[in-house]
Amino acid sequence: MDAPEKPQIYLITPPIFDAPAFADDLARVLDGAEIACVRLDMAATDEGELSRAADTLREVTHARDIAIVITDHLLLAERLGLDGVHLSDASRSVRAARKALGPDAIVGCFCGASRHDGMTAGEAGADYVSFGPVGASQLGDGTTAPLELFQWWSEMIELPVVAEGGLTPELVAQLAPHTDFFGIGREIWRSGDPLAALKTLTAAID
């Protein structure tokens, strides 16, 4: 993904969802907001369940010329005609993913709060790195990716960067000058109106 002039939205699916129902919610959001990419981020480990979800969401995204990537499942990304893969193991498998999927696939990498992992991922061929969580979180060891990391990255590194995890309108406003994408998922899908929640969360971008 190329760095945009202003931050764009990178949607992340919930870890658990009913594919047909979620596809309707996703379509409404894609039709009502400018979305750069969608990440299939299911917690499921059943290949059939993942494949059915991927097929359903691919139809929704590709009908709108929006890319869709899947978390970690490299072989499924290729077999199901997805646009690439989002790796959650810092920079360890970027090179292998790039070799397997070829130069045209999207290969992204989650690097927590580690500047070193982000730089290593870029050198290995990642198209973007993501840092997070940026807000308060009970996930992992509670370490958050600070504003200073994004400030430094935007000044020193050309590789596009995603800010994700625990986003609030206040954090979006602070990070908007320093990030290329906002990875948004749980923040909106838990609401009754995901599109309205997205617009409230990202109002500071405009």
Rounded average pLDDT per 10-residue block, the chain, 206 residues: 86 96 98 98 93 97 98 94 96 94 97 96 97 82 91 97 97 97 96 96 93
What is the pTM (predicted TM-score) of this model? Answer: 0.96
User: What local confidence, expressed as pLDDT, does residue 140 receive?
Assistant: 64
Asked if residue 3 belongs to a domain, the reply is: no
Q: How far apart are CA 152 and CA 137, in angstroms?
A: 23
How buried is 194 (Cβ within 10 angstroms: 0-12 exposed, 13-18 middle, 19+ buried)? buried
Six token digits for residue 60: 């929704």
Asked if residue 19 belongs to a domain, the reply is: yes
Q: How far apart are CA 172 and CA 162, in angstroms?
A: 12
Task: Give residue-wise pLDDT tens across range 58-115.
Answer: 999 999 999 999 999 999 999 999 999 999 998 899 999 999 999 999 999 999 999 9
Domain that holds residue 26: 8-205
Could you tell me which residues are beta bridge partners of residue 11? 38, 184
The continuous run of DSSP H or E covering 178 comes out as none
Asked if residue 1 belongs to a domain, the reply is: no
Q: Which CATH number do you get for residue 118?
A: 3.20.20.70
Q: How many independent structural domains does the chain possess?
A: 1
Tell me what percent of the chain is helix, strand and coil, each rounded to the nearest 5: 40, 20, 40
Instruction: Give the residue carrying structure tokens 């993501």.
Output: 130
